[in-house]
């Protein structure tokens, strides 16, 4: 009886200490700052376009998606990585033709200031592994909700 009492008291004390060490800080997802519907004013080297798109988040803790019609109005959902008020668009390719084999390759970066997200990005058109076209763009995105 004495042995179980000597064992039980430290276990109870440890359980109470562990329960009091719980972090009560509410979870804040920085991606929530980016989520919403945007009016996009896209200025590229050879053209300008205005369109609407939605930015949403996915499973990973730092990913956001530029929803349909996507940057450059390609119809592809481009992924960006969020670090505070900055984003990075890692290189990602989207197949646009099988024969000949043609891809769009996106990369870029951006920053959020209030309801304005400015994204500087590059779109390469790759044909059979070679750069066929190279377009630099700036999207000024104004959140509408």
What structural domains and CATH numbers belong to the chain? 30-143 (2.40.128)
Residue 80, strand partner residues: 64
- pLDDT tens digits for 92-144? 999 999 999 999 999 999 999 999 999 999 999 999 989 999 999 999 999 99
Distances in Å between the Cα of 6 and the Cα atoms of 11, 12, 15, 72, 108 are 9, 11, 15, 70, 62
Name the residue with tokens 């949403």: 56
- pLDDT tens digits for 52-93? 999 999 887 899 999 999 999 999 999 999 999 999 999 999
Distances in Å between the Cα of 63 and the Cα atoms of 15, 35, 90, 119, 131 are 37, 11, 11, 15, 27
State both tokens at 95.
Answer: 């197949």
**pLDDT (0 to 100) of residue 60:** 79
pTM for the model: 0.81
CA distance 48 to 44: 6
**pLDDT (0 to 100) of residue 27:** 76
Q: Which residues contact 103 (CB under 8 A, 6 or more apart)?
A: 93, 94, 95, 96, 125, 126
91 torsion bin: left (phi>0), alpha (psi -120 to 50), beta (else): beta
User: Which among 29, 26, 30 is positioned nearest to 112, based on CA atoms?
Assistant: 30
pLDDT > 80? residue 15:
no
């Amino acid at each position: 009886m004495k042995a179980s009492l000597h064992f039980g008291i430290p276990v109870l004390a440890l359980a109470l200490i562990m329960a009091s060490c719980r972090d009560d800080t509410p979870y804040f997802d920085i991606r929530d700052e980016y989520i919403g519907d945007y009016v996009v004013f896209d200025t590229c080297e050879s053209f300008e376009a205005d369109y609407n798109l939605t930015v949403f988040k996915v499973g990973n803790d730092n990913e956001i998606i530029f929803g349909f019609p996507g940057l450059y109005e390609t119809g592809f959902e481009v992924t960006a990585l969020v670090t505070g008020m900055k984003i990075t668009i890692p290189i990602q390719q989207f197949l646009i033709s099988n024969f000949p084999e043609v891809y769009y390759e996106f990369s870029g970066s951006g920053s959020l200031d209030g309801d304005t997200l400015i994204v500087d990005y590059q779109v390469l058109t790759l044909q059979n592994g070679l750069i066929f076209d190279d377009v630099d763009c700036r999207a000024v995105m104004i959140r509408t909700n």
